[in-house]
Structure 1
Amino acid sequence: MTTEGREGFRILDEKSLTEYIKATPSLSSKLGTELDNLKIKEVGDGNLNFVYIVISPSGSIVIKQAVPYVRLIGESWPMSKERSYFEATALKRQHGLSPKHVPEVYHFDRTMSLIAMRYVEPPHIIVRKGLVSGVKYPLLAEHMSEFMANTLFYTSLLYLTTTQHKSAVAEFCANVEICRLTEQVVFSDPYKISEYNRWTSPYLDADAEAVRNDKVLKLEVAELKSKFCEQTQALIHGDLHTSSVMVTQDSTQVIDPEFAFYGPMGFDIGAFIGNLFLAYFSQDGHADQENNRKTYKEWIMNTIADTWNLFHKKFTSLWDTHKDGPGEAYLHEVYEDMELWELVKQKYMIGLFHDSLGFAAAKMIRRIVGVAHVEDFESIVDPVKRADCERRALDFAKMVMKTRRNFITITDVISAV
């Protein structure tokens, strides 16, 4: 494939990136005058993009470029590079709503599908890597619940007018190709024969077949796919797993919202919680004689419980604060009776809870028998041990998807593990 594309697009390498930075004042101003000795490192370990850390004596930035195919698969799987527009737009909006937890965008070039943003510097690491290593992050639930409450509430009809909401929905509707990717890999491929599916074979062959033959599971995932495609509740991150969050002991930064669109709130909440459950089930595969990971597993469960409970508290608090505001979903004149107001919130939040559980289960299943797996399990070297951990996660996810409406609290879900 030629690196030259339509409208002046070209895939940058370290040399051409330096020239690009020199020619772009909003970037060169961040890096100072010594631009001939930039340290540039490509760190894109994701499935889709190229990501460069650029460091000079005077500053640092991250540059992310979308290419017109799925990097994990190659040019045989084309993918619109326009996704970078939606990522840049979502980053700016989410930074505005949750500035402590989303890095600032410095520059966006739509022609080049290129975003430059604040470098989330060491010792920040991807949460998933910390979870594999057994590191506790005491503020993770507090920060993630704040990020989700702010970004989901303020982009929903609980806060916006219908005119504002429909305008925002229309803008993000064009991110259709990236949504179709999610529809395929999360809600379709794991439930049928697909060339992209893989699992820890031969140990999970029967388990993968059982997923494909489970009629009740297929009915449930059809309902979840319908919600994902049709429900425009809020601007969601769309890919909020534990590799889209960078952490230290006192900082949490949410990155990579290229899957952003107006969709069901529960998809974000479920993605994060589902990935914490994956981390939980992987722990026995990382245990050794020095550390059986028992107390760490308890910490993960407490973090799952705190994430939902704190989200519930923060989200409903925002709703109460703005009940007289512009939001048109529940007009104050209609719902001013306090008893009715409490019932409205209760019904809304239990529905959101059940959605979140369903999406959490779907995200867990796709990571075990679908195309893209997670380091939590992949880093377990012994395939028998890995398959055992994955099977327990898979069985739990199937149970949750089928019976999610029976759970009233997150403690009920944790007790069912």
Structure 2
Amino acid sequence: MSYQVFDSLAAIDFAKAKGFFPNEAQVSSHEIGDGNLNLVFQLSTPERSLIVKQALPYARCVGESWPLTLDRARIEAETLQAHAKVAPDLVVKVLDFDLEKYAMVQEDLSHLVLLRKRLIDVEKVDNLAEDLARYLADSLYAYSDFALAAQAKKALVQNFTNPELCQITEDLFFTDPFREHERNDIFPATRPLAEELWQDVMLLDAVAELKARFLSCPQSLLHGDVHSGSVFSGPGELKVIDAEFGFFGPIGFDVGSVIGNLLLAWCRHKTLGNNDYADWLEEESLSFWDLFESRFRTLLAGTQDPGLASEGYQSRFLAQVQRDALGYAGCELIRRTLGLAHVADITSLDDAQRSDAEKKALALGRSLILASQGSCDISLIRRLLKPSPVRFAA
């Protein structure tokens, strides 16, 4: 059967053809996708509920004027399956993938809540840092040179080459927010700060360095878009979803994306005066790195490549990952403020609060990016956030 864009009835027919529901079953179908790229349907009967996700041949948030490869659906399914091999309790279950329909069947996680909503609602999420650190340490180690034979890894790099989705990141993460561009969506009160950033030569140099590493450093199979809108959580459970940006890139990118999103939530709650919760977010950011580093270092002791077994090299490797993570966290703060894709942590604030929160995000992002180019570590975050966030001006 050839590709066709699903509606609710077509999604039901697809799931029945795959054997997930009997042909006679009365299945309800609701399109629940609120993302930028895909269709997402929740299908349910009294006995069963599941998700059907289909890639569109264009970016949903823009329309047919922005065509996109359908192969991203394969990459998403295979990235989730690969990560689930090493962290099965922390990744959404892929029940089926159809290459002709570019559609995936997943477990329904509607009993959980998006992490972003929980952070907005001032909920302290149990084991958040521990779960995210374990997911990233285990998955990023498993597909690195430390764990894979060279030929096996190179074959995977080829399989997960994802040029169109990487181009989106390259543009929206590293390029557009640091210049005047029609895709940027800048809050009017923030524009003077944006224009100041665009003239900051030291900052632009540092961002170029971070982009170059993103382009040329295939350290492991990344999720590629680990933010608080791609994580579901609930009591005793956390699941990562939406891995269509998966590719082989620098380990610090995924790590920095997590830190950056925790800091975006910090900007919100510091602005609102929720200081106890802001302090909790700060501690989670620091704990996340500490737990990630500790677990990754433990895994490094089992490397099968004697040429990479040097403890001195491994320590330098992790120090570079940490610097990368801080730099990419800074890019995440800036691109979510000046670029195309904003976050509800900030946009749901009233105008005066949003202006203040965006000023915090830009100042913090700039400081992290600049610091990542020298000798720095995760304690930098504490120094930047206390007793008050760094001023925007240098």
Question: TM-score, structure 1 length as denominator?
Answer: 0.89
CA drift of 1:348 comes to 1.1
Aligned residue for 2:235, secondary structure, equals: coil
State the match for 1:281 in structure 2. Answer: 267
Aligned residue for 2:372, secondary structure, equals: helix
State the match for 1:338 in structure 2. Answer: none
Aligned ranges 1:47-196 → 2 under 5 Å? 47-122=36-111, 124-173=112-161, 175-196=162-183
Whether the 8 Å contact between 1:190 and 1:211 is mirrored in structure 2 is no
Distance 2:62 2:198 in 1: 23
Which among 227, 236, 247 is matched to residue 233 of structure 2? 247
Cα–Cα, structure 1 residues 373 and 198, in superposed 2: closer, same or farther, change >3 Å?
same
State the match for 2:389 in structure 1. Answer: none
> Between Structure 1 and Structure 2, how many residues are aligned?
385
Which residue identity lines up with residue 238 of structure 2 in the other structure?
T
Aligned ranges 1:337-416 → 2 under 5 Å? 341=311, 343-380=312-349, 382-406=350-374, 408-416=376-384
Which residue identity lines up with residue 93 of structure 2 in the other structure?
E
Distance 1:407 1:310 in 2: 21
Which among 7, 13, 26 is matched to residue 19 of structure 1? 13
Q: List per-residue Cα deviations over 1:348-385 (Å, max 9, x = no partner).
A: 111110000111111111100001100100111x2121
Which among 303, 306, 310 is matched to residue 291 of structure 2? 310
Q: List per-residue Cα deviations over 1:104-137 (Å, max 9, x = no partner).
A: 2111011111010111131x11111111110110
Whether the 8 Å contact between 1:162 and 1:328 is mirrored in structure 2 is no
State the match for 2:392 in structure 1. Answer: none
Residue ranges of structure 1 left out of the alignment (5+ in a row) = 1-6, 336-340
CA drift of 1:161 comes to 1.1
Distance 2:336 2:38 in 1: 20
Distance 1:17 1:52 in 2: 7
State the match for 2:185 in structure 1. Answer: 198
Distance 2:138 2:80 in 1: 13
CA drift of 1:103 comes to 1.6
CA drift of 1:66 comes to 0.5
Which residue identity lines up with residue 413 of structure 1 in the other structure?
I
Whether the 8 Å contact between 1:157 and 1:329 is mirrored in structure 2 is no
Q: List per-residue Cα deviations over 1:273-319 (Å, max 9, x = no partner).
A: 1010001001145x3xxxx4111111111110110000001000111
CA drift of 1:272 comes to 0.7
Which among 308, 319, 323 is matched to residue 300 of structure 2? 319
Distance 2:229 2:259 in 1: 13
Aligned residue for 2:89, secondary structure, equals: coil
Whether the 8 Å contact between 1:157 and 1:328 is mirrored in structure 2 is no
Matched, 1:41 2:30: yes
CA drift of 1:407 comes to 5.4
Aligned residue for 1:259, secondary structure, equals: coil
Distance 1:284 1:353 in 2: 25
Cα–Cα, structure 1 residues 328 and 268, in superposed 2: closer, same or farther, change >3 Å?
farther
Which residue identity lines up with residue 157 of structure 1 in the other structure?
D
State the match for 1:263 in structure 2. Answer: 249
Aligned residue for 1:222, secondary structure, equals: helix
Aligned residue for 2:213, secondary structure, equals: helix
Whether the 8 Å contact between 1:246 and 1:254 is mirrored in structure 2 is yes
Distance 2:347 2:211 in 1: 27
Cα–Cα, structure 1 residues 308 and 22, in superposed 2: closer, same or farther, change >3 Å?
same
Aligned residue for 1:136, secondary structure, equals: coil
Whether the 8 Å contact between 1:34 and 1:56 is mirrored in structure 2 is no
Among the aligned pairs, what percent are the same residue?
31
Residue ranges of structure 2 left out of the alignment (5+ in a row) = 386-394
Distance 2:356 2:381 in 1: 21
State the match for 2:274 in structure 1. Answer: 293
CA drift of 1:34 comes to 5.4
Distance 1:211 1:74 in 2: 30
Q: List per-residue Cα deviations over 1:68-127 (Å, max 9, x = no partner).
A: 1111111111111110010011011011110010122111011111010111131x1111
Question: TM-score, structure 2 length as denominator?
Answer: 0.95
